Amino acid sequence: MKDVLHQLVAAVKTDSRNLAGRLGRKAGLHEALGWIGIENGRSFNVEIENVSIDATIVVYFGDEPDKMYQLLQWLPILEQLHESYRVVLLFRDVATFRQIRRHTELPRMFVRRFSSLMDLYEDNQFQLVLYVNNSRKNFQSLEHPRLVHVHINHGESDKLSMVSNKAKAYDRVLVAGPAAIERYKARLIDFDLDKLVISGRPQLDVRFEPTLAAHEKFTVMYAPTWEGENEDNNYTSIDCYGVNIVRALLSCDDFRVIYKPHPRIIDSRTSSVRESHERICALIDHSRRTGSNHEYHDSGNVLAMFDSIDALVADVSSVGLDFLYLCPNKPLVITDRRQNLPQLLLDTPVAGACNVISARELSSLHTLLPSWIKSDDFSEERLDIRSYYFGDIRRGESTERFFTHIADLLMDRRKKLPGYRAWHSAMGDEANSFPPNRNHFQAQAETQ
């Protein structure tokens, strides 16, 4: 028997090495056991049965820790929502589940199996599920019909990934403003536009403590995005323009330069991105050794830095639009990776309200970029384009809109539940009952 066990372990080790080699990383025996379903595997975790969870709203997140930034920006708003409705964070990846405790005190749980997820939804009084990204794993959660499924995304940008055909599966899709609606019109066929609800950008209502010290010098941030999951979603400038941008900024003695890359640039597997990032860090490090005040930040909330910077150079990403919303009076420069200005203006309307960096400008960027920033010739255009992206919503109003939309959706679903046939017949009428209302927005809706 002992010989048979040794043979099994040896076989598992061999298979794990082969599979790990194809995945491009090392794997231990415990993880390999998990791949084939043996209990001691790292992917085997606690199952949940017959546990009552006191919550009204589920925030579903199925991805790994490297995408956790998509959820983190929502936490302050979800914590406010939790004061009126019970909110629980639900994870499908145990590493993400364990890491989130560093960032919030919100109730949280981990569910591995699809069957356990469906039982959890059916046997509890959850009413609404929020989704902050377009993960494929969202579709397992969407399987349950009783809850209201609401996509809220994690930013507002002109990236192709902002509009997914998966949007057709949600009950509602909350968007920032008119530009997002036009984006859905242009990129989806046979999509019910009535699903779209303008709610602004609640994450931008949060007043963060500044994490970047103010300085007497004019402070310019370069904040490139990452390279995306595929070339169609690749908007980064770091591998094609990044070093030139930083050199041009460093050449201006009047500037303090802040380099704040997207979190996924730091550990990028794309060699050109990684090499450019390392070269930029070396430039910043060299300048600091000569007595400058330039800085590199590999972590931290970029929104908490905006108040301390005077201009931003960004790619097509949510960072540029967030800066436009919060600081419309400050210069913004964006990049055009594809060197196709007509297409950029079509896909990215903000490009018409700021200077644009492409390959054509690289040879003279050291003089052009400081000049663009100092002259700031697009101040009026930025105010107009801000309204296009965010409507006339002022800072502080998005969160109230968001809460009101949530209340309205809950009330609407409550009216429709009497005809719902529960999956578990033993539940009886419990599936149609709601816990006491604790939200003043919902209370207002009930009295209207």
Q: 21-25, 81-85, 293-297, 376-380: lowest mean pLDDT where?
A: 21-25
Q: Where are the alpha helices (DSSP H) in 24-103?
A: 29-35, 69-72, 75-82, 94-99
Contact between 222 and 260 under an 8 Å Cβ cutoff? The reply is yes
Distance from chain centroid for Cα 36: 32
Among the listed residues 416, 442, 412, 420, the one whose alpha carbon sits nearest the alpha carbon of residue 121: 420
CA distance 402 to 355: 33
Residue bearing the bigger pLDDT, 23 or 419:
419
**pLDDT on residue 53:** 87
Is pLDDT above 90 for 30?
no
Quote the tokens at residue 37. 């379903």
Share of the chain above pLDDT 90, in %: 77
User: What pLDDT does residue 3 have?
Assistant: 58
Q: Please tell me the distance from the alpha carbon of residue 303 to that of residue 295, in angstroms, as a whole number.
A: 16
Measured CA to CA, the distance from residue 237 to residue 356 in angstroms comes to 12
Residue 19 has pLDDT above 80, yes or no: no
Nearest to 147 by CA among 230, 280, 58: 58
Single-letter residue type at 28: G
User: Residues 236, 242, 246, 247: what is their CA dihedral angle, to the nearest 10 degrees?
Assistant: -160
Separation between Cα atoms, residue 330 and residue 312, nearest integer Å: 8
* Residues 251, 252, 255, 261, Cα dihedral to 10°: -40
Helix (H) or strand (E) holding 57: strand 57-61
What residues are paired with 257 via a beta bridge?
220
pLDDT tens, residue by residue, 183-224: 999 999 999 999 999 999 999 999 999 999 889 999 999 999
**Could you say which DSSP state residue 316 is in?**
S
Summarize the confidence of residues 111-136 as an average pLDDT.
94
What does the block give as tokens for 368? 């052009």
DSSP classification of residue 118:
H
